[in-house]
Structure 1
Amino acid sequence: MDSHEKTDEELLEEAMMSLDEPLPDMTEVDEGMSADNHNPNVSPTLEALEVSRRPQGVTVCETCPNSVWQASKDKVQCYCRVMYLVTWDSNDPETLLTHCDGEFLGQD
């Protein structure tokens, strides 16, 4: 065995130790998003907004291709092209749609 190749026990020990490490602050990661490292699964409108103007919890609409996110200087909202309704509105930020089958409609 190569002298710098780790044993299974060493790899397992490292993996177990990493479980004790705190998770990264995703707010900082989101704030660092730019056009150069755009996440294709997230609405570009949401990515362009300051973190404070985005939904504070996870909403399924953030990654749904049927969602249309809109922002003005006073308001942010999401319109669903499947249900024909506003699914998130900055005037009612506590209402978060967490599950929906709309993203699967129209798929073969």
Structure 2
Amino acid sequence: MEIITYSLIGTIGGFGIVFLQSYYRKKKHGNVPTVDERSLLLFKRYFLLVLYIVLFGSSALLLILFAIGVKTIEIEILIVYMMFLFIFIELGAFITKRL
């Protein structure tokens, strides 16, 4: 029950932060868009590339682990792996936005 409560609080808090940021940005800049068509094309290409890298990279990693005889993977290791994936994807998106 605690996990559900914390998840809901985090989700509502995240939506609140995004809402407040967009509200203040719109108040300060008006209707000027945050990204243009070129940026959207760069994002599309970046996320398409990341999708295949993560898909094939994770598949290759699982095949290598299977080949060396690993039969179980701990949940904590999967959480750390996903955390690093999200961090690297977010850093790449931040760099792509700055291009």
Length-normalised TM-score, structure 1: 0.20
Q: Which has the larger radius of gyration?
A: 1
Higher percent of residues as strand: 1
Length-normalised TM-score, structure 2: 0.21
Q: Which has the higher relative contact order, 1 or 2, with Cα contacts under 8 A spaced 6 or more apart?
A: 2
Higher percent of residues as helix: 2
